[in-house]
Structure 1
Amino acid sequence: MTTLFISDLHLSPNTPDINQCFQHFMRTEAINADALYVLGDLFDFWIGDDDKSEFANQIRAEFKRLTDSGVPCFFTKGNRDFLVGKRFAKQTGVELLGDETVIDLYGRKAVVLHGDTLCTEDTQYLAFRAKVNQPWLQWVFNRLPMSVKTPIVRKVQTDARDNKKSKSLMIMDVTQSEVERVMLDHQVDLMIHGHTHRPDMHTFSVNDQTMTRIVLGDWYEQGSILCFDANNYSLQARPFSSKPC
């Protein structure tokens, strides 16, 4: 059996190819897994658990189908879906994780996270992250009508895209010292995260200990999955097509 990891799908009503690939993955691969971990940015932007649109209901239904089948699903919030809350978890059966969570992968400890907090040189983003994750602000936003929330979200998305264009790739990547600090704090030699959209497996040494950092890929041009079992692990792609991927 295999544990599966995905992140950075950025699902929306405007991404039919990605949505179709995600649905096929959930029904043919995740359904047979030991567990599924979603490490943030499942959505291009989750406007709130009160979203009753057809798109939101379809995504909720996919997770409910999976968890009802007995496959546990764990969800780490990203910078696009930080408003996913307890209602979503109750409706879908997924378990919400904290910013950093240590898990057991067939006898090996690993820390899993979205990855945005590792980008310590992107101080502008980290300031934004701290602001929008304030409980009181989320409490207020979640009680606004959809007609008010929608234009606010569109403005945030536009500003984020504009800010990203002006930043160097180095600033938007992880800081190695922060990676090492997090791994040492949690006493693990394996880290799994997304966010940077740079799928790869990095091996390095700290205090004569070999450590591995696995970066999940985005789903912009193809599906990206980390398959992890007791004997091996690999980053795998799932191509988009007119038929289910």
Structure 2
Amino acid sequence: MSEKGLIYFVSDVHLGAPALKNNRERELRFTQWLDEIKNDVAELYLLGDIFDFWYEYKKVAPRGFTRVLGRIADLTDRGIPVHFFTGNHDVWVFDYLAEETGVTVHHEEFITEIQGKKFFLAHGDGLDASDKGYLFLKKVFTNKTMQWLFSRLHPNFAFWLAHKWSASSRLSKSDIDDDFMVVKDGMYKFAADFLKTMPIDYFVMGHRHRMTKQQMDGKATFILLGDWISSFSYGVFDGKNFELKKYNGSID
């Protein structure tokens, strides 16, 4: 990684979400943001749920998203590392994105050092020990046998089924976590427990669709990146400070 430039983090874009009506506008805004950061980005972390649904057959990949995929490929072609973390909506990423766009795919949390600071990076799903229902579903979704059985479905039916599931998700509801308190959240509690085993400077996650920058015990900072549904937010690290920002670019 270059010592010059900025490190960018973004999550929960949910491209192609059937529960949302402005998918084209959001995709154009996201690609505009990618265009604007390309001259100062040293490394880009896509921390899950970039796509609202993704499944790769051996010979079939999801239709659409060509603008976004092209921008990502342009970054990696220029030698800029791009890290793609699978989320609960795009968990079924296998080798297509890595081969076609050059991203490094992470299926689990990732600990790395960036300009002298230690980062714990993850989408965040599955870290809340109290969410028993989702933990069971994640075991089903990541089970190799279940993935093989799903791949036996015709793509038309498989994608229809997945989009029906997604259309009933919390994205279609306007009252998402109105009483959210970060210090009581299961992901925050996970981070607090993890600090007992290893020092971390920054925990950076998505999943909750909330923008949060919370100081923890010691020098650790817990960060939730927000989303590209209502806040159009992202994180940026300059080697000394981590900032949460909102992208205000408009689509003419």
User: TM-score, structure 1 length as denominator?
Assistant: 0.86
Alignment of 1:197-212 (within 5 A): 197-205=209-217, 209-212=218-221
For structure 1, the residue ranges without an aligned partner over 5 or more in a row are: none
Partners of 1:232 and 1:167 in 2: CA distance: 30
* Structure 1, 170-179 or 191-200: larger mean CA deviation: 170-179
Indicate the structure with greater helix content.
1
Partners of 2:240 and 2:139 in 1: CA distance: 39
> 237, 240, 245: which is aligned to 1:236?
245
| Alpha-carbon offset, residue 130 of structure 1 | 1.4
Residues 25, 167 of structure 1: alpha-carbon distance in 2 compared, 3 angstrom cutoff: closer
Amino acid at match of 1:97: H
> 116, 121, 124: which is aligned to 2:130?
121
| Alpha-carbon offset, residue 45 of structure 1 | 1.4
Residues 140, 23 of structure 1: alpha-carbon distance in 2 compared, 3 angstrom cutoff: same
| Alpha-carbon offset, residue 235 of structure 1 | 0.6
> 87, 102, 106: which is aligned to 1:93?
102
| Sequence identity percentage | 28
* Structure 1, 125-134 or 166-175: larger mean CA deviation: 166-175
Partners of 1:240 and 1:39 in 2: CA distance: 21
Amino acid at match of 2:122: L
Alignment of 1:179-190 (within 5 A): 179-190=191-202
Helix, strand or coil at the partner of 2:220: strand
Q: Deviations over 1:131-161 (max 9, x none)?
A: 1111222233235321121222023224534
For structure 2, the residue ranges without an aligned partner over 5 or more in a row are: none
Residues 23, 128 of structure 1: alpha-carbon distance in 2 compared, 3 angstrom cutoff: same
| Alpha-carbon offset, residue 163 of structure 1 | 11
> 25, 30, 37: which is aligned to 1:22?
30
| 1:6 aligned residue | 10
Helix, strand or coil at the partner of 2:166: helix
Alignment of 1:70-89 (within 5 A): 70-89=79-98
> 109, 132, 135: which is aligned to 2:118?
109
| Alpha-carbon offset, residue 109 of structure 1 | 0.8
| Alpha-carbon offset, residue 226 of structure 1 | 0.5
Query: Aligned pairs, how many?
Result: 239
Q: Deviations over 1:103-151 (max 9, x none)?
A: 1111111110001223222221221111111122223323532112122
Alignment of 1:37-186 (within 5 A): 37-48=45-56, 50-51=60-61, 53=63, 55-161=64-170, 173-186=185-198
Residues 112, 72 of structure 1: alpha-carbon distance in 2 compared, 3 angstrom cutoff: same
Partners of 2:146 and 2:234 in 1: CA distance: 34
> 182, 186, 192: which is aligned to 2:204?
192
1:35 aligns with 2:43: yes
Q: Deviations over 1:42-63 (max 9, x none)?
A: 011113362252x233332221
Residues 218, 193 of structure 1: alpha-carbon distance in 2 compared, 3 angstrom cutoff: same
